[in-house]
Amino acid sequence: MQEESDNIHKLYPEDCFREINGKEGVFQMIVKDLVETRELLAEVTREDIYVIYERFENADCHCEGERVEEIECDPEEIVQILTAHPNDSLSLTSIKKYQIGVDYKDLAAVLKDIQSNFSYLLEEEKVLQPLG
C-alpha cells in the first residue's frame, strides 16, 4: 500500500503541469472553470439523450516556485450530445461534441446541425387524432 501511495506523489507536479522550455521548477497549465451548464432540447429529445451546453472561463497559469501568474483566456463554449447506457443509469457516452466559435459560429448553428443531422435522436412530433 505504501508503494501505491508513493507512486501517486510521484505524479505531481510533473504530470499535472508542463515544464516551460525545460526550466526546472517552472510550469504552465490551463485552468478551466465551468461557469454555466444547462440541458438543451430536453422537451424534444428521446428519454436517453441529453444535449448539454457548457461554458468555461479559462486561464493560462504560469507557476515559478511560489509565484503564480494567471492570464485570462477567451471563454470556451461546448455543446455535447450524450446518450445514457441502456444497462447503466450512471454511464453516459458522448455522441458528438461541438466547440462554439471553432466548429460552429454560434449556438443557433449548433442546434440547427443537431436538428438536421441527428433528427433520429429527437422524438417524433405527436399528432393528436380527432375522437370518434
pLDDT in tens, 68-119: 788 888 899 999 999 987 777 678 899 999 999 998 999 999 999 999 999 9
Per-residue model confidence (pLDDT) at position 61? 84
**Polymer length in residues for the chain:** 132
pLDDT class of 63 with cuts at 50, 70, 90: confident
Residue 6: band (very low, low, confident or very high) from pLDDT cuts 50, 70, 90? very low
Q: What is the structure's pLDDT at 14?
A: 45
pLDDT at 124 over 70: no
Identify any residues that bridge with 49 across adjacent strands, giving them in sequence order. Answer: 83
Tell me what pLDDT residue 23 has.
59
**Residues 17-62: tens digit of each pLDDT:** 555 555 566 778 888 899 999 999 999 998 889 999 999 998 888 8
* 3-class secondary structure per residue, 36-93: EEEEECCCCECCCEEEEEEEEEEEEEEEECCEEEEEECCCEEEEEEEEEECCEEEEEE
pLDDT, position 106: 96
Identify the residue with better confidence: 26 or 131.
26
